[in-house]
Amino acid sequence: MVALSYFQQAATYYQQARYVDAIQHYLSGLKYDKSRYHIYADLAKAYEMVGKWEQALVYLDKALKLCPDSPTVLRRQARIKEEKTYYQTLISEIDLVDNPTQQFDPTINTENSERPQHIVEYKFFKLTVEPAVTPKTLWYICQLVEKTHDEVGSHLDCYPNNQVRISIINTYDAPTQTNLPKWASGCYDGDILLKYCADGEPELGVLYSLIRHEWTHLLVELLTHGKCPIWFNEGLANTIARPLLSYEKLSLQQADKNGTLPTISELNQPFTTFSVSERKIAYLQSAAIVASLINEGGFSSIRQFLSLIGNGIPLEKALRKVYDMSILLN
């Protein structure tokens, strides 16, 4: 009974996106009951959500020892291995500099002593990280923002004229409430807000993808004055943030097989109206469509399409002017 109580509370915390608390309760419950393979698998999923790939894989191995043929565990293991490889490779290929420039001058705000903030005004952005991370991590984040500014700006030929405000919040034990739903890790509403959950430093590969996602939304807003169709905006942000991984492509294939892939008109309604499973497919389908558009016409066609939309050209007319519509009808 003691173990079950911990496991039930862990599941509740996971649903609330309180992943560190979920991990702690799963571990506490496992002190009393080590016989349930699905608990190890769920613990691994919680570790996945905080970017601790190695720990996740350790507990999946434990799950497989108890149930070697579990399709859920095997599927989860394959997904986490792919995520680990992608995100670690992503950061390893970036030439992050260890020593900061003289322009880098972080300020630690200790007005709230329980959650001190780092505040940095660096070049074209103002970054707030709560609670404060190590100076080295903060410098790495600044470099990731600068790289995003250059690379995504080059894709869309757009660079903000005004200072961009970026807030990054660790939601673990956070008194600060954000307006983000629990399924979202970031938003752009004039400023960029990102959130992660960890009992330590953020996982830089995941954070870099989140920055690229929301930065794309910022540029699309500037280029189209808020007129961009939802599916195109989300699909472009997802595609620029990172490519679809194998398990995501498999989800699309399964939805296609089941006849549940959304149409363009369905994708153009607010994603908040979808159920959790529908929203997942909507994001993936949007990314797949935009990726096909980029493959067909490159980013020059993306820029042309955004320009037409920004000038008030209707969606269907803009698509027909820029693209072969057949790729959207398959």
Question: 313: burial class by Cβ within 10 Å (0-12, 13-18, 19+)?
Answer: middle
pLDDT at 180 > cutoff 60: no
One domain, residues 278 and 309? yes
One domain, residues 207 and 236? no
pTM equals 0.92
One domain, residues 78 and 165? no
- The domain spanning residue 174 has which CATH number? 3.40.30.160
- The domain spanning residue 59 has which CATH number? 1.25.40.10
* Cα–Cα distance, 69 to 53 (Å, whole number): 21
Q: Which residue has the higher pLDDT, 42 or 176?
A: 42
Note whether 322 and 307 are within 8 A (CB): no
95: its two tokens = 């030439």
In a domain, 79, yes or no: yes
In a domain, 307, yes or no: yes
The confidence score (pLDDT) of residue 330 equals 47
* Cα–Cα distance, 81 to 25 (Å, whole number): 24
In a domain, 66, yes or no: yes
Last-in-domain residue among 206, 222, 238: 222
Last-in-domain residue among 41, 62, 92: 92
Cα torsion angle, 258, 259, 264, 267, sign: negative
In a domain, 99, yes or no: no
Mean predicted confidence (pLDDT) in 63-79? 97
In a domain, 266, yes or no: yes
The confidence score (pLDDT) of residue 116 equals 87
**What is the number of other CB atoms lying within 10 angstroms of the CB of residue 226?**
9
The confidence score (pLDDT) of residue 272 equals 85
The confidence score (pLDDT) of residue 325 equals 62
The confidence score (pLDDT) of residue 147 equals 97
User: pLDDT tens across 273-294, in order?
Assistant: 899 899 999 999 999 999 999 9
Q: How many CA atoms lie within 13 A of 208 on its CB side?
A: 23
In a domain, 287, yes or no: yes
The SS3 of residue 128 is: strand
pLDDT at 43 > cutoff 70: yes
Q: What share of the chain is helix, strand, coil (3-state, %, to 5)?
A: 60, 10, 30
60: its two tokens = 């999946």
**What is the number of other CB atoms lying within 10 angstroms of the CB of residue 167?**
19
One domain, residues 200 and 236? no
The confidence score (pLDDT) of residue 16 equals 87
One domain, residues 186 and 287? no
Give me the percent of the chain exceeding a pLDDT of 70.
93
* Cα–Cα distance, 159 to 285 (Å, whole number): 28
One domain, residues 133 and 207? yes
Domain that holds residue 209: 107-222
* Cα–Cα distance, 30 to 330 (Å, whole number): 49
One domain, residues 263 and 206? no
* Cα–Cα distance, 283 to 101 (Å, whole number): 38
Last-in-domain residue among 195, 222, 249: 222
Q: 92-106, 143-157, 175-189: lowest mean pLDDT where?
A: 175-189
User: pLDDT tens across 196-251, in order?
Assistant: 988 888 999 999 999 999 999 999 999 999 999 999 999 999 999 999 999 999 99
One domain, residues 127 and 37? no
154: its two tokens = 């080059």
pLDDT at 132 > cutoff 70: yes
The confidence score (pLDDT) of residue 74 equals 97
One domain, residues 126 and 68? no
The confidence score (pLDDT) of residue 145 equals 98
Q: In one letter, which amino acid is 259?
A: G
Count of structural domains, the chain? 3
One domain, residues 118 and 208? yes
pLDDT at 177 > cutoff 70: no
One domain, residues 201 and 271? no
The SS3 of residue 202 is: coil
The confidence score (pLDDT) of residue 200 equals 86
**What is the number of other CB atoms lying within 10 angstroms of the CB of residue 123?**
15
* Cα–Cα distance, 46 to 60 (Å, whole number): 11
In a domain, 278, yes or no: yes
62: its two tokens = 């434990």
315-322 and 276-310 are packed helices; what angle lies between their axes, rounded to 10 degrees? Answer: 70
In a domain, 100, yes or no: no
**What is the number of other CB atoms lying within 10 angstroms of the CB of residue 39?**
24
| pLDDT band (50, 70, 90) for residue 316 | confident
In the β-sheet with 164-170, what is the strand arrangement from edge to edge? 107-109, 117-122, 125-130, 164-170, 192-196, 186-188
Mean predicted confidence (pLDDT) in 145-173? 95
One domain, residues 174 and 262? no
The confidence score (pLDDT) of residue 151 equals 98
